[in-house]
Amino acid sequence: MEAIILLGGPGAGKGTLSEFLKKQTDFIHVSTGDMLRAALKSGSPVGLEAKAFMEAGALVPDSVILRIIEERISQEAASARYMFDGFPRTIDQAKGLDLLFKNKSGTVKHVFNLIVPRETLLKRLTGRRVCKSCGAVYHLINIPPKKAGVCDVDGGELYQRADDSEDTILNRLEVYEKQTAPLIEFYQKQKLLRDIAAGHSAAETGAAVLDILSA
């Protein structure tokens, strides 16, 4: 079992990079944000537990996150390769992952640290729109759909995520700085950190990551 980790603040482009890597590699995409949104939609116990945290832009408790990750991994072959998107997000989650992988002889290969100026993050998040049915991500200015409000892929309705409102965005950025940014040092010490300048196009970010993966 192997994994790469996509690390970066909200709006850094983890989701967009994941879409790119899904087409170019055989890594299985595991996004805790997507899993939680699906749980919320279906009204499952995890969804009910996560709801208030997500709406406030706060982190869902580590125990919940580690549980859904463990469950997700148990569904795949022992030889699977994962790309974790939005996980781990705290030092305790990273330690939990280490433990889980230790038990399953897994290794983390790279941690891609997506570096984006704060101003760019804000612009990306306020302009972000998502397809209600397939989850494809757009941006009003950077990646507009062909027809306003409608998904190019399946014609679904585009909406703004509840946590992409201005107040919640500021809170999420603060949460990132306080709780997730410490992971940079954590993985630097393990020599796993790969800095990626991710403030430009999705294609450039993707190419930089592929370069490292194929080295």
Q: Which residues are catalytic?
A: 14, 89, 128, 161, 172
Q: CA triplet 93, 27, 140: central angle to 5 degrees?
A: 85
Query: Does 59 participate in binding ligand ADP (rule CB under 6 A)?
Result: yes
Q: Which residues, numbered 129-158, are part of the site for ligand ADP (CB under 6 A)?
A: none
Q: Which residues, numbered 78-97, are part of the site for ligand ADP (CB under 6 A)?
A: 86-87, 89, 93
Query: Does 39 participate in binding ligand ADP (rule CB under 6 A)?
Result: no
Query: Does 106 participate in binding ligand ADP (rule CB under 6 A)?
Result: no
Of the candidates 106, 116, 147, the residue with the CA atom closest to the CA atom of residue 17? 116
Query: Does 10 participate in binding ligand ADP (rule CB under 6 A)?
Result: yes
Query: Does 57 participate in binding ligand ADP (rule CB under 6 A)?
Result: yes
Question: Judged by CB under 6 A, which of 110, 124, 129, 172 binds ligand ADP?
Answer: 172
Written as one string, the DSSP assignment of 112-159 is EEEE--HHHHHHHHHHEEEETTT--EEETTTB--SBTTB-TTT-PBEE
Query: Does 124 participate in binding ligand ADP (rule CB under 6 A)?
Result: no
d(CA 160, CA 186) in angstroms, rounded, equals 33
d(CA 37, CA 140) in angstroms, rounded, equals 22
Query: Does 205 participate in binding ligand ADP (rule CB under 6 A)?
Result: no
Residue nearest to ligand ADP (CB): 33
Question: Which CB atom, from 87 or from 187, has the smaller least distance to ligand ADP?
Answer: 87
d(CA 51, CA 133) in angstroms, rounded, equals 20
d(CA 2, CA 144) in angstroms, rounded, equals 35
The least distance separating ligand ADP from the CB of residue 62, rounded to whole angstroms, comes to 7
Burial zone of 91 (CB within 10 Å; 0-12 exposed, 13-18 middle, 19+ buried): middle
Question: Judged by CB under 6 A, which of 1, 2, 49, 53 binds ligand ADP?
Answer: 53
The residue with tokens 């580690």 is 66
Query: Does 101 participate in binding ligand ADP (rule CB under 6 A)?
Result: no
Q: Give the distance, in angstroms, between the CA of residue 203 and the centroid of all CA atoms in the same chain.
A: 17
Query: Does 65 participate in binding ligand ADP (rule CB under 6 A)?
Result: yes
Q: Interface residues with ligand ADP (CB under 6 A)?
A: 10, 14, 32-33, 36, 53-54, 57-60, 65, 86-87, 89, 93, 163, 172
